[in-house]
Chains A and B, each alone.
Chain A
Amino acid sequence: MNLANWQLTFLTLSILGSNILGVMVASLVAILVATKVIGMLWDRYKRRRQASLKSLALEFLHTGNAEAKLRLRNLARVDALILKAILLELSEQASGMQQSRATELYEFSGIADKEIRTLRRSWFWWSRAASAHNLGQMHIQRAKNDLIEALGDRSIEVRLEATWAIGHMGFVDTLPLIMESMSHFFKIAALRMDAFIFEMGPPALPLLLDLCKHPEQEIQLLAIHLVGEFKDLGTLGVLLSLLDSQNLEIRIAACKAIGSIGDPSGLSGIIPYLKDSAWQMRAQAAKQFGRNRFTPAIPGLLKCLEDRAWWVRLNAGEALSQMGNGGRVALKKALKSEDRFARDMATQWLAELEATS
């Protein structure tokens, strides 16, 4: 191909490309306008239908009127969607009889069946996740097995929603399965599990204590954290035994959990760990004493002001500053220490105390 031909070909292709791009730009703008218009129309329709469907749903929830319930059967697909949103919204504030009527209506209108089908079969994770959540929120007990199956879903969102739903309905026996399905997502799992175990209450505790000795570290860490959140004195024995674990993360988690419980018998057990070989453990122990204003730890904390690790000195100083008069006296004593770092830290926290008093 000579130069002139090449340029002509290029000219033709450029014109073609320009035209295609022009059409695409125009189409994009048209799509934008169309979606805006459709959105506005949908909003208008939804508002209108919401008013009548909500009044029927409310009537059934408050009075149990069977006629209102019958009128909400066999709704068109769009109206069923609106009713679902209404019931989910109402169930957030409902309890007792109203909640069971909301559940009854959810079943009666066929929405629950659709949700279970979606949870089982939908290709889209967001639909499965929404169904799991909705089934939990509406207390559809017969969906338990489907929700347990959803704990093995490939999408973490579906697993999280299923966890929430199971917790919301109080199925304690599912706890080990849940821990295993989510242990690799430590923070987000712990976040969900916090809410979950509080919904379940004390029946979850024996299972959690077993899981504190699980061979998988992630599960162990999660269980220790959750046990701490329970603040049950009966768990201190297990937690104190974990302070001698070979694994530093487990030891730190156990220390934090004991601090969360905040009982003197547990805190006394942490005092020796102010001399632990790992600075992270020493710093964590100091922090827990300050958090609980545990004055028997003052001599140990005073020694920690001379620690070679800055974080340990900082946490020890802060802990002493939180311990009232005893801590203040100890900090003043540290001002006369031969160790320059201890003097610096004592000066810092005493100044802080003075400024805030």
Chain B
Amino acid sequence: MAYLQMGILIYFFMVNGLYLLLFLFSCAIIINYRLVSRFRGPSEILKARVTPPISILVPAYNEEKNIVSSVRALLELNYPQYEVIVINDGSKDNTLDVLEKAFSLRRTAHVYHRELPTATVKGVYRSKVYPNIWVLDKENGGKADALNAGMNFSQYPLYCAIDADSVLEKDALVRVIRPYMDRFQEVVAVGGIVRVANGCSISHGVVEEVGLAKKWLPNFQVVEYLRAFLSGRVAWGAWNGLLVISGAFGVFKKQPVMDIGGYSTETVGEDMELVVRLHRSLREQKRSYRIHFIPDPVCWTEVPHQWRTLARQRNRWQRGLGQALYRNLSMFANPKYGSIGMVAMPYFFLVELLSPAVELFGYTLFGIAIYMGVVYWEAVATFLILAVWMGIFLSLLSVLLEEFTLHRYPRVRNLLKLLFCAVLENFGYRQMTAFFRLRGLYDFARKENAWGFIERKGLEATH
């Protein structure tokens, strides 16, 4: 029992030490990024004749509530040349109809070039009003299949994958393209920060005012997203060890993705699986490459506002993580894959995948130990207090980093609310999400592969 307790304590200090290290590193990167931004404004990239065109892929399954506002937001983007390809993945609702009405679609005789295998494409539509909007109507094959279809159809060398329930900021593409402008040959993918749209005022697909939701649950997720994106991904991106680019927003070079067969249709975490496979393939080819992450806020997405939806989402994320790691298990602790095999994979396995199991196992173990009288309850209580303080500290650091560098919540009231959430989320929310992730881990072990229905309010009604 004593060894188990010690093991849990060592794990606790190791994980929190790593978080702190990632945070400190991210701080330096974000500050540097903000400084660079002073010298490279969006207008320069907009005017340039060498800015690469982008195909925006929007897979949509039963998205009648969000799809029009999402596409409208895409039309507002500041970018010299881009096309929007909505892939209606066999929706059972009126997704295609609402698109047809809103953008005056017409059916075209466009040839669908099936370079990556996908489910049958039933029709290709194009907007009469906005010639850069295309809609692929296909049989249901899942999100990965829809993205593969979009890639087959797209005409530009870069593609941006986004979720239909997301809204991109006006300058999102201009910002995300920057690493490609620096080193086009080397960069194969760039991820950007995804932010919580609940509570923001969104009109015609544009975030007009950034705010927080009235409910606590989405606000806890705001803090959680800040922590995950601002400290975790920024640091991993700088070390070229980023294993996940959120499906809600990422820009990829098309050819390397096509070369590895596109998205896998056999996993629920296709976004992470793709990035891990890209690393694997490029390392095996001994190619010099970069997978970047930019800390700018670029994409707003609706997060679950109910516990049961959150449970399903976290369950799916955890299964996706497990599948991505399992399918590329040969990279684990394999020096052939450099820092990815030796650092990133072990981190994601030990910290991201196993942490909910260790956390809940720790609670149970300490409970049993107190009951059996093997440990002093005072020692356990102070340890728990320390753990909570550490959680609060890390969350507060993320909120403060946001405030000092990116400053997306200008109102003092919102800032105070975020600080309060950073404290409050440690009492219940974190434990609940750990439980949902543990269920996900269990389902992964059972090879459960369903996506789960995510109930949405619609982006323009999120506050």
Contacts and interface: CB of A to CB of B under 8 A. Distances in A.
A and B from one complex:
yes
Interface of A: 3-4, 6-8, 10-11, 14-15, 17-18, 21-22, 24-25, 28-29, 31-32, 35-36, 125-126, 129-130, 133, 156-157, 160-161, 185-188, 190-192, 194-195, 225, 229, 310, 314, 344-345, 347-348, 350-352, 355-356
B39 A129 contact: yes
Interface in B370-417: 374-376, 378-379, 382-383, 385-386, 389-390, 392-393, 396-397, 400, 403-404, 412
Interface of B: 2, 9, 35-36, 38-40, 44-45, 47-52, 106, 108-111, 113, 115, 126, 128, 131, 155, 180-185, 374-376, 378-379, 382-383, 385-386, 389-390, 392-393, 396-397, 400, 403-404, 412, 419
Given A191-B48, A194-B49, A18 B389 contact: yes
Main secondary structure of the interface of B (DSSP, over half): helix
A351 B108 contact: yes
Given A21-B393, A25-B393, A28-B396, A35 B128 contact: no
Nearest to A9: B379
A162 B21 CA distance: 35
A191 B45 contact: yes
A21 B382 contact: no
Given A24-B393, A355-B128, A11 B379 contact: yes
Contact of A14 (B2, B45, B385): B385
A14 B39 contact: no
B106 A14 contact: no
A190 to B, nearest CB: 4
Contacts, number: 120
A43 B39 CA distance: 22
B379 A7 contact: yes
A233 B35 CA distance: 42
Contacts of B375: 7
B419 A29 contact: yes
B378 A11 contact: yes
A11 B382 contact: yes
Main secondary structure of the interface of A (DSSP, over half): helix
Nearest to B403: A32
B382 A15 contact: yes
A28 B403 CA distance: 12
Contact of B182 (A14, A185, A314, A348): A185
Residue from B109, B374, B392 with most neighbouring chain A CB atoms (10 Å): B109
B50 A10 contact: no
A157 B178 CA distance: 13
Nearest to A19: B389
Contacts of B184: 186-187
Given A11-B378, A355-B108, A191 B389 contact: no
